[in-house]
Amino acid sequence: MKFFVDTADVSEIKDLAATGLLDGVTTNPSLIAKSGRKILDVISEICELVDGPVSAEVAATDFETMLKEGQKLSKIASNVTVKVPLTVDGLKTCKALSDDGIMVNVTLCFSANQALLAAKAGASFVSPFVGRLDDIGEDGMFLIEDIVGIYDNYPSLGTEVLAASIRHTAHVLAAAKAGAHVATIPPNVIRQLYNHPLTDKGLEAFLADWASTGQSIL
């Protein structure tokens, strides 16, 4: 499973990209607003830091304007993935951009039927929002399982399932078990993936024993 980070905070992205384990980035209008910066500047900086897909979301809701916005965003760098909402106009935009060879991430997906439509529209990624379904008392991970299963029935579909609205490390594990191609994860949750108290305890003991030998490897 590929790991994308879900943030528009450039310093966080720089830090995580340095690990060599970051496969891409997703942003959305709320994350851009939180950054307090201009979308074109932020996306361009992120694209310089990360080689993988960087999602930049359109802000219009009608086809004509979304298409123009998508075309403009796609010109920032070759790894920009234009993000469009799962609406009729959004999917029309997805089809038009995809036909032009531009990667598209269809966002705000809350049902398997919506995911089928995104795939038919040629999306590179579809983003089912796990946490927001959990928030309303549903199990968001069932949706990931459903979509992965349905897409598997049609091997010619090129759309990747991007588990979004990930809130904690258990979501990451469940997305991997469900076969999601990608999970986009907030920076704090990515960092939590490294942690285990037995790793800390074990390392502490190894270091103490090593010190007692008085040796040096270098």
- Closest CB 163 distance from ligand E4P, rounded Å: 9
Q: Which is nearer to ligand E4P, 26 or 114 (CB)?
A: 26
Residue of 14, 75, 83, 120 marked active site: 83
Q: Which is nearer to ligand E4P, 56 or 76 (CB)?
A: 56
Q: Which is nearer to ligand E4P, 80 or 206 (CB)?
A: 80
Q: Which is nearer to ligand E4P, 74 or 165 (CB)?
A: 165
- Closest CB 156 distance from ligand E4P, rounded Å: 25
- Closest CB 67 distance from ligand E4P, rounded Å: 20
Task: List residues binding ligand E4P (CB under 6 A).
Answer: 6, 26, 28, 107, 127, 129, 131-132, 164-165, 184
Tell me how crowded residue 148 is: count the other CB atoms within 10 A of its CB.
20
Whether 83 is catalytic is yes
HEC assignment per residue over the chain: CEEEEECCCHHHHHHHHCCCCCCEEECCHHHHHHHCCCHHHHHHHHHHHCCCCEEEECCCCCHHHHHHHHHHHHCCCCCEEEEEECCHHHHHHHHHHHHCCCCEEEEEECCHHHHHHHHHCCCCEEEEEHHHHHHCCCCHHHHHHHHHHHHHCCCCCCCEEEEECCCCHHHHHHHHHHCCCEEEECHHHHHHHCCCHHHHHHHHHHHHHHHHHCCCCC
- Closest CB 127 distance from ligand E4P, rounded Å: 5
Would you please indicate which residues are annotated as catalytic (active-site) residues? 83
